[in-house]
């Protein structure tokens, strides 16, 4: 296999590896279930059993709406269940073209329902759960300019002498929300109380088409023993989760955002999942050890959630393992330091586009010794092409003699025909890692670069960068030794067109990296060709 064929193989391998990485993220097996050990979370009867559609009956009822406004979010809490039903992220517009329309992470309407539910369970008697109707003290709350936190109180009581106040606490400059249940037992019986919290999400159809890059939408859990695990929504029907753990967390994630329940680190609880009719899915946790509330006594149970962007600094400050939700795939150990360097570059220049350019130049510099060996090998092959062509013409009908003559030529001129391949192979993991860094990092979402590029996470609106990338690949082909096989030559020159079409709908930040990488490679190859051949090309 000659050098050109191997380079073609490497290029196609990169594409296959990217597609395999995306497939692997989408199809990891769900965790195995175990036996439930505590009272079950109240189910939701009366849900439609019809085929899934936008009109599928929602597995909850509507009560009165409570509006909550802070510096970062607009939230809606429903008195039915005390659910957190809506969460608009003020700092994250839905698109560059709609800067005043915040991204809606949680929503109880439409085809992508996503809400936060929580409640209490008792072995002996009723307690408020996500189907209970609360009463509210007010209909609108707003975080004042001098306030650091904002509390929303919901109340419930029953004839048996139980009173419960469910309190949401929102914080300034924070996407974390604390939830507390104050239980006042004025009755005559002791109550054993368990707590649960869960995410309810409607099935999200897989986005298809060239403009939709792979990103996982579904459930994830983290435990100390098995670490980070993905739970696809459609696996919850056949593989319901029921696992006893200590600490950890449960979350629903999508490309740039997540909602995560954060139980106590030392608490014993069970992670569970459930598939409901109408393609609704539940993922949550429930405590395993009850809190006993004696007659005449009070008790408080607490939990917290984070619902917001995958900003790595925020996630790491809450719990370092949450940074795993920024999923770089199987090359995380390379991608994490790359992101750290990219972030440092951004702090230096204040623009993510220029940060990508600087990082690309740095990577090119680090691999310069390997790249130099690769390009020198190709330049030597290019210099020998007239003699190689003569050998082909002399022994064209006898491939064995032609190959022997070629090997003699390589030996005489001290050329390794595969000398340029190993350096390329070594760099592939770095290229793939950077691909995932640029794809997964929310910091690049709607980040402008310059001129017509207003969003590095969106495709180039005029396809300028993909075209430049295709032209730069053609220039590289011209600088490389040309295949002697006409079919191989056609394939080599078709590859830039294929790559250009492949990248037309990729985020501009990814294409920018490839353009800069190619331009630097062209400059390096041209310089080495000139040195080896003894004249400018």
Percentage of the chain lying above the pLDDT 90 cut: 52
**Residues 220 and 229: beta-carbon distance below 8 Å:** yes
Choice among 96-110, 121-135, 189-203, 490-504 with the minimum mean pLDDT = 490-504
| Cα 28 to Cα 220: distance, rounded to the nearest angstrom | 11
- C-alpha distances (whole Å) from 396 to each of 3, 424, 506 are 19, 30, 43
Q: Which residue has the higher pLDDT, 475 or 395?
A: 475
Q: What is the pLDDT of residue 211?
A: 43
Q: What is the DSSP letter of 243?
A: E
Lowest mean pLDDT among 59-73, 147-161, 280-294, 519-533: 519-533
pLDDT, mean of residues 144-151: 96
Least confident of 282-286, 459-463, 508-512, 526-530: 526-530
pLDDT tens across 331-363, in order?
889 999 999 999 999 999 999 999 999 999 999
**Spatial distance between the Cα atoms of 446 and 456, rounded to a whole number of angstroms:** 6
Q: Which helix (H) or strand (E) holds 423?
A: helix 421-440
Greater confidence (352 vs 26) lies with 352
pLDDT at 207: 54
SS3 per residue for 372-407: HHHHHHHHHHHHCHHHHHHHHHHHCCCHHHHHHHHH
More confident residue, 7 or 272: 272
Question: Among 224-228, 307-311, 382-386, where is mean pLDDT lowest?
Answer: 382-386
Mean of pLDDT values over 453-464: 91
Kindly state the average pLDDT of the residues 199-212. Answer: 66
Q: Residues 60, 282: contact at Cβ < 8 Å?
A: no
Q: Is the pLDDT of residue 64 over 90?
A: yes
- Give the residue extent of every domain in the chain: 3-19+336-533, 64-204+215-327
Question: pLDDT higher for 323 or 214?
Answer: 323
CB–CB of 480/474 below 8 Å? no
Helix axes 385-395, 399-413, angle to 10 degrees: 160
Return the CATH fold of 64-204+215-327.
Answer: Beta-galactosidase; Chain A, domain 5 (2.70.98)
Check: CB of residue 420 under 8 Å from CB of residue 374. yes
| Helices 486-503, 508-533: crossing angle, 10 deg rounding | 150
Predicted confidence at residue 2, as pLDDT, reads: 45
Nearest 5°: phi and psi at 319?
-160, 115
Q: What is the pLDDT of residue 42?
A: 72
pTM equals 0.81
Question: How confident is the model at residue 49, as a pLDDT?
Answer: 28
Per-residue pLDDT, averaged over 481-506, amounts to 76
pLDDT at 56 over 60: no
255-280: pLDDT as tens digits: 999 999 999 888 899 999 999 998 99
Q: How confident is the model at residue 525 (pLDDT cuts 50, 70, 90)?
A: confident
Q: CA-CA-CA-CA torsion for 70, 75, 78, 79, nearest 10 degrees?
A: -10
For residues 509 and 515, give the distance between their C-alpha atoms in angstroms, rounded to a whole number: 10
- Residue with the bigger pLDDT between 384 and 441: it is 441
Instruction: Rank 139-143, 414-418, 437-441 by mean pLDDT and report only the highest.
Output: 139-143
Portion of the chain with pLDDT greater than 70, in percent = 83
């Amino acid at each position: 296999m000659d050098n050109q064929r191997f380079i073609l193989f490497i290029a196609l391998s990169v594409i296959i590896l990217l597609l395999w990485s995306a497939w692997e993220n989408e199809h990891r097996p769900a965790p195995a279930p175990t036996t439930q050990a505590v009272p079950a979370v109240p189910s939701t009867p009366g849900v439609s059993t019809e085929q899934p559609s936008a009109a599928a009956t929602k597995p909850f009822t509507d009560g009165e709406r409570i509006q909550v406004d802070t510096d970062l979010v607009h939230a809606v809490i429903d008195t039915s269940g005390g659910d957190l039903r809506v969460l608009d992220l003020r700092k994250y517009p839905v698109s560059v073209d709609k800067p005043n329309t915040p991204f809606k992470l949680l929503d109880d309407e439409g085809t992508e329902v996503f809400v936060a539910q929580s409640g209490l369970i008792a072995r002996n008697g009723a307690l408020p759960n996500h189907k209970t109707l609360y009463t509210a003290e007010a209909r609108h709350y707003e975080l004042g300019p001098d306030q650091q936190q904002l509390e929303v109180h919901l109340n419930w009581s029953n004839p048996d002498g139980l009173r419960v106040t469910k309190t949401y606490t929102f914080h300034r400059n924070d996407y974390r929300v604390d939830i507390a249940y104050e239980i006042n037992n004025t009755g005559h019986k002791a109550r054993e109380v368990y707590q649960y919290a869960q995410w309810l999400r409607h099935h999200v159809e897989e986005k298809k088409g060239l403009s939709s890059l792979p990103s996982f939408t579904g459930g994830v859990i983290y435990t100390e023993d098995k670490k980070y695990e993905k739970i696809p929504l459609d696996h919850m029907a056949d593989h319901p989760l029921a696992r006893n753990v200590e600490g950890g967390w449960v979350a629903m994630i999508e490309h740039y955002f997540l909602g995560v329940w954060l139980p106590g680190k030392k608490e014993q609880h069970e992670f569970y999942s459930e598939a409901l009719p109408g393609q609704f899915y539940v993922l949550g946790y429930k405590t395993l050890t009850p809190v006993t509330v004696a007659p005449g006594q009070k008790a408080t149970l607490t939990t917290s959630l984070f619902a917001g962007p995958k900003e790595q600094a925020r996630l790491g400050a809450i719990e370092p393992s949450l940074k795993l939700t920024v999923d770089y795939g199987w090359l995380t150990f390379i991608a994490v330091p790359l992101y750290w360097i990219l972030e440092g570059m951004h702090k230096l220049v204040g623009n993510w586009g220029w940060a990508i350019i600087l990082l690309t130049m740095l990577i090119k510099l680090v691999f310069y010794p390997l790249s130099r060996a690769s390009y020198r090998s190709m330049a030597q092959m290019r210099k020998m092409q007239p003699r190689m062509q003569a050998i082909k013409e002399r022994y064209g009908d006898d491939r064995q003699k032609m190959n022997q003559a070629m090997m003699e030529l390589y030996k005489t001129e001290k050329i390794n025909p595969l000398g340029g391949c190993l350096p390329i192979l070594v760099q592939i993991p770095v290229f793939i890692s950077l691909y995932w860094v640029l794809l997964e990092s929310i910091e690049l979402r709607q980040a402008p670069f310059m001129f017509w590029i207003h969003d590095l996470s969106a495709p180039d609106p005029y396809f300028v960068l993909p075209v430049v990338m295709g032209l730069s690949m053609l220039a590289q082909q011209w600088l490389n030794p040309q295949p002697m096989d006409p079919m191989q030559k056609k394939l080599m020159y078709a590859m830039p067109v294929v790559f250009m079409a492949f990248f037309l709908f990729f985020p501009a930040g990814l294409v920018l990296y490839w353009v800069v990488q190619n331009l630097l490679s062209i400059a390096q190859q041209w310089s080495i060709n000139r040195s080896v051949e003894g004249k400018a090309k």
